[in-house]
Amino acid sequence: MKITKATAKRILKEAGAIRVSDPAASEFARTLNNFAYSIAGKAAKLCAHAKRKTVEKSDIELAK
């Protein structure tokens, strides 16, 4: 699952942007996806290290 350009554009507008170019929305979506997958990977490693199969809130908090 990936954050789409449309979702990125919506987030930017909700944050106060009046207009958002397509290249800006694409770059923001790419950045958000990279960040999300990085956190998810770290959380999964923390979960495995704790010998659990379920990622918990504390894993996400520690992965940030």
- Whether the predicted pLDDT of 48 surpasses 90: yes
d(CA 47, CA 31): 24
39 and 60 Cβ atoms separated by less than 8 Å: yes
| CA pair distance 21, 29, nearest whole angstrom | 12
Compute CA distances 9 → 13, 22, 31, 57, whole Å: 6, 8, 13, 27
Q: What is the pLDDT of residues 5-45, one digit of tens each?
A: 999 999 999 999 999 999 999 999 999 999 999 999 999 99
Question: What pLDDT is stored for residue 1 in this prediction?
Answer: 79
> Looking at residues 39-58, what average pLDDT do you find?
97
**pTM, to two decimals:** 0.84
The CATH superfamily label for domain 5-63 reads: Histone, subunit A (1.10.20.10)
Name the pLDDT band for 52 (thresholds 50, 70, 90). Answer: very high
CA dist 49 → 15, 38, 59 (Å): 37, 17, 10
